[in-house]
Amino acid sequence: MTTATHPSASAPSLTPQQLFRKQAAGEGLSPDEPDAAHRHVIVVTMENTIGALNRVANLFSARGFSLESVSVGIAEGQTARMTLVTTGNDRIIGQVLQQLNNLVDTLHVDDVTDEAFVERELCLVKVAATPAERSALMGVVDIFRGNVVNITPDSMTFEVTGPPTKINAFIGMMREYDVREVARSGRVAMRRQLVFETQS
């Protein structure tokens, strides 16, 4: 018996349909063109049940996405509100969002990346500080509208809230001193209510 592959018309150039699909999939059309990948800020509202958090995080790890930031807190009506930040191919993240929506415990999934939204992060920084350094440190903290939350003879702890860029800048400034500990909350985000949205 012989015969290997049946004749095939392997066309080297792409059909219009193949081009459409590549574009729709956010893939680069030529090898040197990268896929469409962005950072996404996703707000998930879910039932506050055991395991719900795990299921959400699972979906991202199952598709090989690492979560850059996760924060969760209780919101109104027995719900938990989660803000996730991750980076990846837009289409695949779109799919993960569909899968998130499919979870029995999720009530609402909102990718606010391309929307007008407010985001905030809280950060605590403990630095070694002699009494002589205190006033200089306070000067920096005041510029960032931060607060002192703890003070000892040889250290001070500050609290700063703001968009992640501000937090980064603040931590950068503190690096001039002897930073002992940094704790960041991860971001929380919310769509902005635009004035003209309420009028019509």
Which residues are near another protein by CB under 8 A?
1-6, 8-11, 14-15, 17-18, 20-21, 24-25, 46-47, 50-51, 54-55, 58, 62, 95, 98-99, 101-107
Sign of CA dihedral 59, 64, 65, 70: positive
Q: Minimum CB separation from another protein for residue 11, in Å?
A: 7
DSSP assignment string, 79-141: EEEEEEEEEEEHHHHHHHHHHHHHSTTEEEEEE-TTS-EEEEEEEEEEEE--GGGHHHHHHHH
Dist. CA 5–CA 18, nearest whole Å: 23
Dist. CA 100–CA 91, nearest whole Å: 14
Q: Minimum CB separation from another protein for residue 35, in Å?
A: 14
Q: Minimum CB separation from another protein for residue 28, in Å?
A: 13
Dist. CA 27–CA 41, nearest whole Å: 21
Q: Which is nearer to another protein, 104 or 132 (CB)?
A: 104
Dist. CA 27–CA 54, nearest whole Å: 30
Q: Which is nearer to another protein, 61 or 147 (CB)?
A: 61
Q: Which is nearer to another protein, 73 or 145 (CB)?
A: 73
Residue type, 1: M
Residues 6+ apart with CB under 8 A from 163: 119, 120, 121
Q: Minimum CB separation from another protein for residue 72, in Å?
A: 16
If you search the block for the tokens 């090989």, which residue do you land on?
Answer: 64
Q: Which is nearer to another protein, 26 or 186 (CB)?
A: 26
Q: Which is nearer to another protein, 18 or 87 (CB)?
A: 18
Q: Which is nearer to another protein, 99 or 155 (CB)?
A: 99
What tokens does 20 get? Answer: 């459409």
Q: Minimum CB separation from another protein for residue 53, in Å?
A: 11
Task: Give the count of beta carbons closer than 10 Å to the beta carbon of residue 199.
Answer: 6
Q: Minimum CB separation from another protein for residue 68, in Å?
A: 22
